[in-house]
């Protein structure tokens, strides 16, 4: 079992720790530990991303070993490489079309739909309170910016809930890189809604 306990770290701290782990089995154990423990979506995503990277690196190493060993079967190797290249080209075309469907026309790393989904999955884990809703998502020079409403205190009736409006900064890949609370208010404060200008 890995020495690292994912439950003892925030998601950002966990990402830093994962950068030093190159063993696929260890990463799989960490993923199981997170699933059995706090089961945070953002933490499992971070572990899966590192697992994909390690798996890709191992695949590249196998390719290099294969290319170094020469022999009588060079012609067969070339034929099989051509076939696999054709298959990869087909896969690349499919993945390109999938990515372009969710991305904006100017070639952003992710589209607004992916950003929305990532904010839904990660905002509560990051801030430590339940997400009430996403108010706004916009493209910025450095990536993305999202405005969210977080339930800071539940009340009965729910019109008395205290909400916090948070601005989240995301990079081009849709990962949250910072956040700040802009204001707090009562959900049923209709006077505030009437006075607030459009867009916050």
Q: What is the 3-state secondary structure (H, E, C) of the chain?
A: CCCCCHHHCCHHHHHHHHCCCCCHHHHHHHHHHHHHCCCCHHHHHHHHHHHHHHHHHHHHHHHHHHHHCCCCCHHHHHHHHHHHHHHHHHHHHHHHHHHHHHCCCCCCCCCHHHHHHHHHHHHHHHHCCCEEEEEEEEECCCCEEEEEEEEEECCCCHHHCEEEEEEEEECCCCCEEEEEEEEEEECCCHHHHHHCCCCC
Distance, CA of 97 to CA of 109 (rounded, Å):
13
pLDDT in tens, the chain (200 residues): 456 777 777 877 878 888 888 888 888 888 888 788 777 887 788 888 888 888 877 766 555 555 454 445 555 555 555 555 555 555 555 544 444 444 444 444 688 999 999 899 888 888 888 899 999 999 999 899 999 999 989 888 888 899 999 999 999 888 899 999 999 999 887 666 555 555 44
Name which of 153, 178, 156, 154 is nearest 166 in CA terms. 178
Q: For position 52, what pLDDT does the model report?
A: 86
What's the N-to-C CA distance of the chain in angstroms? 48
Q: Where are the domains of the chain?
A: 6-102, 112-195
Phi/psi of residue 114, nearest 5 degrees:
-65, -40
Task: Tell whether pTM > 0.75.
Answer: no
Distance, CA of 81 to CA of 42 (rounded, Å):
37
Q: For position 57, what pLDDT does the model report?
A: 74
């Amino acid at each position: 079992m890995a020495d690292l306990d994912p439950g003892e770290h925030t998601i950002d701290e966990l990402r830093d720790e994962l950068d030093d782990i190159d063993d696929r089995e260890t990463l799989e154990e960490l993923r199981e530990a997170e699933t059995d423990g706090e089961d945070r979506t953002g933490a499992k995503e971070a572990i899966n991303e590192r697992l994909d990277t390690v798996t890709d690196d191992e695949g590249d190493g196998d390719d290099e070993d294969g290319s170094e060993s020469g022999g009588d079967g060079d012609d067969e190797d070339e034929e099989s490489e051509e076939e696999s290249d054709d298959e990869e080209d087909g896969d690349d075309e499919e993945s390109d079309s999938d990515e372009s469907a969710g991305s904006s026309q100017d070639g952003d790393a992710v589209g607004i739909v992916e950003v929305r989904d990532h904010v839904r999955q990660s905002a509560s884990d990051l801030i430590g309170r339940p997400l009430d809703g996403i108010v706004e998502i916009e493209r910025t020079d450095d990536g993305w910016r999202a405005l969210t409403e977080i339930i800071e205190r539940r009340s009965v009736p729910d019109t008395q809930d205290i909400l916090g409006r948070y601005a989240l900064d995301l990079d081009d890949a849709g990962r949250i890189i910072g956040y700040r609370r802009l204001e707090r208010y009562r959900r049923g404060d209709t006077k505030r809604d009437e006075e607030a200008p459009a867009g916050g």
